[in-house]
Amino acid sequence: MTGLAGKVAAARTRAKEAESDADDSEVRLGELDGFIGFNLRLAQDASFRAFTRRVGETSLKPGRFAALMVIHNNPGITPGALGRAIARDKSTITPLVQALLRDGLVERRQSRTDRRSFTLRLTKAGEALRRELLAPAQAHDRKLDEIVGERKEEFLELLRRIVELLE
Amino acid sequence: MTGLAGKVAAARTRAKEAESDADDSEVRLGELDGFIGFNLRLAQDASFRAFTRRVGETSLKPGRFAALMVIHNNPGITPGALGRAIARDKSTITPLVQALLRDGLVERRQSRTDRRSFTLRLTKAGEALRRELLAPAQAHDRKLDEIVGERKEEFLELLRRIVELLE
DNA sequence: TATTGTTATACTCTATAACTATA
DNA sequence: TATAGTTATAGAGTATAACAATA
């Protein structure tokens, strides 16, 4: 997994005709190269790896960090609402929440308004870890900001439009 | 999983102060909302789901479709070069290639130049499936093109810069 | 009847390490 | 020594379906 992103870029820029068997330095992506979806996946993959590298392999993955952030900002949120906020199905939010409970980062209480449900809050340890990870997470995103430059707001707007309109 | 993207958008736009327990319609994303990385993930997730919906749940996922496209455009490519082209580790490209072999979409031959390696080609069935999926895949990306509008080239350039510079 | 969360199941993806056969 | 690909393993994410308790 060393330098995947760089090699992808190299493969793209060095793409050219290949008459016999293709080797490493002359991979043609074809239609894929102009597909927004494909490039979105490469960029998301690169961002995910860079986040993990910066925050530390041993610590939280982006998905769990996002959950911590949302619970912090919405004390008392239910698992369902949390899942909708970070685009996770209820079948994936249950194990995620259980992992956070297991690690002592989150606590749950019976919901007063809906006895089928319950509410989530960060524990002291959860707050501490969130605070600890916020700095490297922000550093990671500042790096993305640098790359995108002054077009950041337009870029974010397009990403949000994709989410809203691709329903 | 019905309407996840729409609910995320609604959660964002309706975000406001919440004094007591947060409910569904007033989730605050906090710093996350301005993070490029987080929005990249939501957009990629929405695109992935839309692709799968359009191409057909029963058929190929975006990752395998991308592999088919790259092998088509680079007959004789090795698994390693394929993995680098679509940003997949060698530990994930092996099972992917084996699934394609198992499904009769790809064939492999001994490499003439490197006896540790081998070369990949689409079978007739692989070519047929690729041809069949190309239309819905292009329709999917045209939908993305519509959403992004005339800023497509700039958008693609930013996605590629992220891949290149986030190493 | 519909919804909240749980459980079970299956497949995919990610990541590491150990292995083989070559180079 | 390093590289190509395989195998094994473990942890996540994705998806569906069936279920209990409650709305």
Whether residue A11 is contained in a domain is answered as no
Distance (Å) of CA B38 to CA A10, A77, B147, B153 = 26, 19, 19, 22
Residues of A in contact with B162 (CB under 8 A): 43, 46-47, 144, 147-148
Average pLDDT over residues A36-45: 96
* Tens digits of residue pLDDT in A82-115: 999 999 988 899 999 999 999 999 999 999 999 9
Contact partners, residue B128, CB within 8 Å, separation at least 6: none
Cross-chain residue pair A29–B73, CB shorter than 8 Å: yes
Contact partners, residue A123, CB within 8 Å, separation at least 6: A104, A105, A106, A107
**What average pLDDT does chain A have?**
86
A20 pLDDT exceeds 70? no
Q: What percent of chain B has pLDDT over 70?
A: 84
* pLDDT tier at A134, thresholds 50, 70, 90: very high
B7 pLDDT exceeds 90? no
- State the DSSP string of A71-139: HHHSTTB-HHHHHHHTT--HHHHHHHHHHHHHTTSEEEEE-SS-TT-EEEEE-HHHHHHHHHHHHHHHH
CA B119 to CA B103: how far, in whole Å?
17
Whether residue A128 is contained in a domain is answered as yes
CB A10 within 8 A of CB B130: no
Range of B47's domain?
38-166
Whether residue A81 is contained in a domain is answered as yes
Whether residue A8 is contained in a domain is answered as no
Sequence letter at residue A138: Q
pLDDT value for A14: 33
Whether residue A91 is contained in a domain is answered as yes
Helix (H) or strand (E) holding B139: helix B124-148
Distance (Å) of CA A47 to CA A97, B47, B77 = 24, 16, 27
pLDDT value for B58: 59
Whether residue B1 is contained in a domain is answered as no
CA B48 to CA B40: how far, in whole Å?
12
Chain centroid offset of residue A139 CA:
15
> What is the number of structural domains in chain A?
1
CA of B17 to C1' of C9 (A): 40
Whether residue B15 is contained in a domain is answered as no
A132 pLDDT exceeds 60? yes
Whether residue B44 is contained in a domain is answered as yes
Cross-chain residue pair A69–B137, CB shorter than 8 Å: no
For A:2-61, CB contacts with B below 8 A are 3-9, 11-12, 18, 20-24, 26-32, 34-51
* Tens digits of residue pLDDT in B105-125: 999 999 999 999 999 999 999
Average pLDDT over residues A141-150: 96
CATH number, domain of B58, equals 1.10.10.10
**Quick one: B66 exposed, middle or buried, by C-beta within 10 A (0-12, 13-18, 19+)?**
buried
Mutate one of A55, A73, A114, A148 to test the B interface: name it (highest B CB count within 10 A).
A73
Chain centroid offset of residue B107 CA:
23
Sequence letter at residue A19: E
pLDDT value for B69: 97
> What is the three-class DSSP state of B165?
helix
CA angle B50, B51, B54 (to 5 degrees): 85
* pLDDT tier at B13, thresholds 50, 70, 90: very low
* Tens digits of residue pLDDT in B139-152: 999 999 999 999 99
* Tens digits of residue pLDDT in B46-80: 999 999 988 875 578 899 999 999 999 999 999 99
